[in-house]
Amino acid sequence: MAFTVATAKVDITPTLSSNPYMAGYGTPDGGRLATSSTPYQPLWVRAVVIRENGAPRLILSVDVLAIPRTMHQRIRPRLLALANWATSDILLQATHTHNGPTLVDALHPFTTYGMVQLDQIRAYSSWLEDRIVEAAQSALNAGQTNVTLDYQVIQQTWSVNRVGLKYVETDVPVLVCRRSNGTPAVVVFGYGTHPVAAGDRSLFDGDYPAGACNYIENRSDAFALFLLGPAGDQNPSGSPSWTLRDQWGDSLGSAVLNAAQSAGRALTGPITTKYQEVNLPLEIDTSDANLAALRAAYAARLPNLGGFPAYYVRHAAVMMARIDSGNVATSVPSPFQVWTIGGGTPLRMAFVGGEMVSGYAAYFRSKYGGSAGIWIGGYANESCCYIPTNEFFSPYMTAGSYEGGWDTDAPGIAGGSMTVYGHIAHFRAGTNGVETTLINALTAMLG
């Protein structure tokens, strides 16, 4: 197979006049504000188009906390119209920086941040949609470089499982698009830990993924793009600061750039792609009696006698209104995507929408040839919520779980992360729950 690659990136850093509101940490005060239009480092949309015998596939990353479903559903048809490709040939991902701009819908500005004046956020979100399409179009139009593809996995050891489970992410997958002289033209790489190394800051920034990309690009003539792995229950070690952000960004970038100097396993094609939307089941009974009980449980949160964060109270009021209007969901849609790049040993790339926890990666690596055989991650296409395994529910966890989306005050309704993502209930656990649904659906796609 003959491969070419082309790239583009578009600056999406807000100014204080366009959108000063920052996403990533729930607030009681109407939003977290940036203090300068000059970022710590700029935010980007990065786009890579890999053509196989002329047929294009797109990998595109956005330096935002999450791509809301509403935005994704508007962007995808626009991208699909740019070229003769299938929707499965288009892979988007948020880098999940916690010092990016607030967007519409997810995380919802009112529920999470207490914001009611959303004109700037709506205008910026619409502008961002155009910039994402612009980046894809620019990459499609850019000059193509003849390349070969190779893959390897290296290690970083500064991620920790923040909830104390046994899974700790160390894998750094590295896909290199290599020029005929052997030098890297494009390096696509990943790591599975939350981009919160900088912590809660007042300057826009892409956290350690941006630092790693900048490290690679400042020290080579390669284009770099980062894809976040199964980071739902993983945090960087150390006390958050700009110094820690730079430390881990440089560590990752240096390791990837050093690895890319030597070719990994050759991938010769073909590239096959699959995409589908999977409905992940919520633990909810929609009978009138149970909905009345749910409403009462949410009403009990309004006085906030339990001392929960302010977003719990706002979420409770929104959920009561949903019950009153009959707008009660029983599942959460999540896009699932699989790319397979053939060779002597094919590479499977499997990405789901939402904050996938690391237990899923451990499971699929054990089934598909380990780290060398499968690259797996979340945060793809749209960010719906955390996606926990059964280990985040009773009887394994009994004191509630942020990632599992429930609390002990009312374990039958949403809590934790499901409040900031705006869902009415937590996921169903057990044999017919979220874990089984995800494993079955992704296994069928992986073939």
If you average pLDDT over every residue of the chain, what do you get? 97
Residue 110 belongs to some domain of the structure: yes
pLDDT score, position 124: 98
Are 235 and 307 in a shared domain?
Answer: no
Residue 435 CA to residue 364 CA, distance in Å, equals 12
Are 235 and 309 in a shared domain?
Answer: no
Name the pLDDT band for 93 (thresholds 50, 70, 90): very high
The letter for the amino acid at 19 is N
Domain C-terminal end among 235, 266, 297: 266
Are 107 and 210 in a shared domain?
Answer: yes
149 sits in the region (left: phi over 0; alpha: psi -120 to 50; else beta) called beta
pLDDT score, position 303: 96
Are 173 and 298 in a shared domain?
Answer: no
> Which range of residues forms the domain containing residue 202?
3-266
pLDDT score, position 1: 67
Could you report the per-residue pLDDT of 41-50, keeping only the tens digit for each? 999 999 999 9
Could you report the per-residue pLDDT of 367-422, keeping only the tens digit for each? 999 999 999 999 999 999 999 999 999 999 999 999 999 999 999 999 999 999 99
Are 243 and 291 in a shared domain?
Answer: no
Residue 259 belongs to some domain of the structure: yes
282 secondary structure, DSSP code? B
For residue 29, pLDDT over 90 is answered with no
For residue 30, pLDDT over 90 is answered with no
* CB distance 386 to 282 below 8 Å: no
Are 76 and 187 in a shared domain?
Answer: yes
Could you report the per-residue pLDDT of 207-243, keeping only the tens digit for each? 999 999 999 999 999 999 999 999 999 999 999 999 9
Residue 169 CA to residue 231 CA, distance in Å, equals 8
Are 262 and 291 in a shared domain?
Answer: no
Are 91 and 202 in a shared domain?
Answer: yes
The token pair at 234 is 């993983």
Domain C-terminal end among 199, 232, 266: 266
The rounded percent of the chain whose pLDDT value lies above 90 is 97
For residue 289, pLDDT over 90 is answered with yes
Domain count, the chain: 2
Residue 30 belongs to some domain of the structure: yes
Residue 437 belongs to some domain of the structure: no
Residue 335 belongs to some domain of the structure: no
Are 141 and 207 in a shared domain?
Answer: yes
For residue 25, pLDDT over 90 is answered with no
For residue 81, pLDDT over 90 is answered with yes
Are 133 and 166 in a shared domain?
Answer: yes
Residue 348 belongs to some domain of the structure: no
Dihedral (C-alpha) 7, 20, 107, 66: value to the nearest 10 degrees?
10
Are 83 and 146 in a shared domain?
Answer: yes
The letter for the amino acid at 364 is F
Residue 29 belongs to some domain of the structure: yes
Are 108 and 57 in a shared domain?
Answer: yes
Residue 255 belongs to some domain of the structure: yes
